[in-house]
A and B are shown apart, each in its own frame.
Chain A
């Protein structure tokens, strides 16, 4: 379930933090993905994330993930100090492979979801959620 995190201040200073590079080197995100897939190949697509383009409140961002036919979904906040958000397991009694929750985002980042399908394959998608200081509407 949701891990509580309270390390990052949301707001004015947040986007000054350096971007976390998503490179081939081992990062907390790579570690989280590898721990879930065991290093298996991950296809793009087949997973739908619904999230606001710009978070109204970075402390509680509504996110839902749907992946038809998935037996497990792993949700990762790639820019948080602890990227693991949660791993959701769907049993035979699950109505659909869909999960909705709220997560804390420390800064603007990609939220990634990886689905494990019934045949053991993996699929993923990611969306960018901006955590902004706020602008000035017209």
Chain B
């Protein structure tokens, strides 16, 4: 058996929730080049219900490199708690072996070197193989998609999400929730939803005009599996109209709405639910707080913050599951549901090692068919990178350094700003940069690169505002994502301080001078949420910059000093 750790959770009730979680212990196998698909999939079927969770794939259909974050700070009560544990601390917390396959999948250390050994991860054809294998064990396993699915690639941009929808339908998804989906706009979202063979859930999606639950979106859905009645309640990303352009879907309001979540839980329990599952795009810390405030949820399948955790986090009797992003992992959760109660669980975060798991032939050909009309555009090589290109991290990533350089150079500005999103694949040193690799880190329906002037004071205000979205000690005031990326500017941040006091030492890097609050600076950026933003598309700006460079080489970014950790 590959499970390592047992949980015993004594509850005040007569029953005790018990469970087992396993990630794997394949380091020796992998070192001997003997890691097999059977090792990855081995699971002693348990209980009477199986959930399969995948989330935040961001339209990445093919295997990718994906470096996990080196910096992911938690503040307040969650300081040092998962998922705010990275690198060697993560390896120690979960008893992984440095340099092993599991350490490669879950942490950033030695990423470029280990990638040579263990290969790319993800690919929806490999995911299809895993889903089919689980369904061979448990034919009525429920496949749930946590959202951020349709957006994030060049093909999804060109087909307005249709390629991903076709692939996820073929995969057999049975319910989903949403966030970036909405950036295709109300009409397109409702057009896709009308044709989905499964419900598009969000108890917190309201009609903006009437401030009532939307009639276009269901709050929850039912499954009868393994003799149990299962309610799956959807929770879309609460801050979609703030983090993304509200004008693209003005008919809808979101929000956390945990009082209504409690009403929904009470409603499904009154209707006989034996198991209550929340399919969430809240982000991990928001889900953790919600689990402490809303009573009666058995399982929260978390999303949005792209955390991959090899074990569930327990809040009271609620299991929080974090299944990573970009198709890099799939979670299998087997549950023992009896007499209207969750009695026990068995959990496994399955890493999708693309060289180990055989692609499902049917899904491979479907993915290739979706790519075929655009193949030449997608795969055109625009340059080569000598540096590891990655995005994840609270403050900076090499991809963002390159993007900020491109904006400053192509738009002739002193300063560049790039949004702190967490999606986008990595590239290894020596890799070709193909056009779709650029889209992987910047595809969006509002990618215009603006050029404007801002005073030093306004720039400071923006940084304080974004920092509070990330480091407010109350998770309900956090929006997920990371700090806005800066080109041409350095600063210090004390993450333990309140809004208005975190950012100091703003310095214009090209002159070494302090940013003057009263002076105006030229600023370029992209992903503005304002309607009518004008400028070239960000992917064209990046491509033009890379073509001029030919080969990309980036120096480590030392312009940000972090304290209060």
A118 at the interface (CB under 8 A from B): no
Select B306's contact among A56, A136, A138, beta carbons within 8 Å. A138
Given A15-B461, A16-B461, decide whether A135 and B469 contact each other with a Cβ distance below 8 A.
yes
Select A136's contact among B246, B305, B481, beta carbons within 8 Å. B481
Query: What residues on A are CB-neighbors of B481 within 8 Å?
Result: 135-138
Whether the pair B242, A15 counts as a contact (CB closer than 8 A) is: no
Question: CA of A70 to CA of B295 in the docked complex: distance in angstroms?
Answer: 29
A81 at the interface (CB under 8 A from B): no
Select A135's contact among B254, B479, B500, beta carbons within 8 Å. B479
Query: What residues on A are CB-neighbors of B476 within 8 Å?
Result: 53
Query: What residues on B are CB-neighbors of A138 within 8 Å?
Result: 56, 148, 283, 304-306, 421-423, 480-481
B interface, size bucket: 35 or more
Given A13-B461, A54-B479, decide whether A136 and B255 contact each other with a Cβ distance below 8 A.
no
A57 at the interface (CB under 8 A from B): yes
B71 at the interface (CB under 8 A from A): no
B-contact bits for A1-43, CB 8 A (1 contact / 0 none): 0000000000011011001000000000000000000000000
B461 CB to nearest A CB, Å: 4
Residue of A nearest to B256 (CB): A53
Query: What residues on B are CB-neighbors of A100 within 8 Å?
Result: 211
Query: What residues on A are CB-neighbors of B254 within 8 Å?
Result: 56
B458 at the interface (CB under 8 A from A): yes
Interface centre among B241, B242, B419, B474 (most CB of A within 10 A): B242
Whether the pair B243, A137 counts as a contact (CB closer than 8 A) is: yes
Query: What residues on B are CB-neighbors of A133 within 8 Å?
Result: 461-462, 465-466
A104 CB to nearest B CB, Å: 16
Select A132's contact among B208, B242, B422, B500, beta carbons within 8 Å. B242
Residue of A nearest to B179 (CB): A137
A69 at the interface (CB under 8 A from B): no
Residue of B nearest to A136 (CB): B419
Select B243's contact among A16, A130, A135, beta carbons within 8 Å. A135
Query: What residues on A are CB-neighbors of B484 within 8 Å?
Result: 136
Query: What residues on A are CB-neighbors of B470 within 8 Å?
Result: 135
A86 at the interface (CB under 8 A from B): no
Whether the pair A12, B479 counts as a contact (CB closer than 8 A) is: no
Question: CA of A15 to CA of B241 in the docked complex: distance in angstroms?
Answer: 19
Residue of B nearest to A16 (CB): B461
Q: In chain A, residues 114-133, which have Cβ atoms closer than 8 Å to a Cβ of chain B?
A: 128, 130, 132-133
Query: What residues on A are CB-neighbors of B464 within 8 Å?
Result: 15
Select B465's contact among A19, A50, A132, A137, beta carbons within 8 Å. A132
Q: In chain A, residues 42-60, which have Cβ atoms closer than 8 Å to a Cβ of chain B?
A: 50, 52-54, 56-57
Whether the pair A13, B458 counts as a contact (CB closer than 8 A) is: yes
Residue of A nearest to B478 (CB): A135
B447 CB to nearest A CB, Å: 13
B537 at the interface (CB under 8 A from A): no
A95 at the interface (CB under 8 A from B): no
Whether the pair A136, B239 counts as a contact (CB closer than 8 A) is: no
A-contact bits for B221-264, CB 8 A (1 contact / 0 none): 00000000000000001111111101000000111100100000
B410 CB to nearest A CB, Å: 21
A135 CB to nearest B CB, Å: 4
B38 CB to nearest A CB, Å: 33
Whether the pair B244, A137 counts as a contact (CB closer than 8 A) is: yes
A134 at the interface (CB under 8 A from B): yes
Question: CA of A25 to CA of B180 in the docked complex: distance in angstroms?
Answer: 47
Residue of A nearest to B466 (CB): A135
Interface centre among A108, A128, A136 (most CB of B within 10 A): A136
B386 at the interface (CB under 8 A from A): no
B457 at the interface (CB under 8 A from A): yes
Question: CA of A54 to CA of B256 in the docked complex: distance in angstroms?
Answer: 9
Whether the pair B211, A62 counts as a contact (CB closer than 8 A) is: yes
B527 at the interface (CB under 8 A from A): yes
Q: In chain B, residues 441-479, which have Cβ atoms closer than 8 Å to a Cβ of chain A?
A: 457-458, 461-462, 464-466, 468-470, 474, 476-477, 479
Select B246's contact among A13, A19, A57, beta carbons within 8 Å. A57
Residue of A nearest to B460 (CB): A16
Question: CA of A40 to CA of B474 in the docked complex: distance in angstroms?
Answer: 33
Query: What residues on B are CB-neighbors of A135 within 8 Å?
Result: 239, 242-243, 420, 465-466, 469-470, 479-481
Query: What residues on B are CB-neighbors of A13 within 8 Å?
Result: 458, 461
Whether the pair A132, B469 counts as a contact (CB closer than 8 A) is: yes
Whether the pair A136, B461 counts as a contact (CB closer than 8 A) is: no
B324 CB to nearest A CB, Å: 12
Question: CA of A93 to CA of B462 in the docked complex: distance in angstroms?
Answer: 49
B190 at the interface (CB under 8 A from A): no
Query: What residues on A are CB-neighbors of B461 within 8 Å?
Result: 12-13, 15-16, 133
Question: CA of A53 to CA of B457 in the docked complex: distance in angstroms?
Answer: 26
B402 at the interface (CB under 8 A from A): no
Residue of A nearest to B252 (CB): A56
Select B462's contact among A12, A52, A53, A108, beta carbons within 8 Å. A12
Whether the pair B304, A136 counts as a contact (CB closer than 8 A) is: no
Whether the pair B479, A137 counts as a contact (CB closer than 8 A) is: yes
A sample of 8 inter-chain contacts (CB < 8 A) reads A15-B499, A53-B256, A54-B479, A57-B241, A130-B477, A135-B481, A137-B237, A138-B422
Enumerate the 8 nearest inter-chain pairs by beta-carbon distance, A residue then B residue, closest first.
A137-B243, A136-B419, A135-B469, A138-B422, A135-B479, A56-B241, A136-B481, A133-B465
**Interfacial residues, chain B to chain A (CB-CB below 8 A):** 56, 148, 179-180, 208, 211, 237-244, 246, 253-256, 259, 283, 304-306, 419-423, 457-458, 461-462, 464-466, 468-470, 474, 476-477, 479-482, 484, 499-500, 527, 529
**Interfacial residues, chain A to chain B (CB-CB below 8 A):** 12-13, 15-16, 19, 50, 52-54, 56-57, 62, 100, 108, 128, 130, 132-138
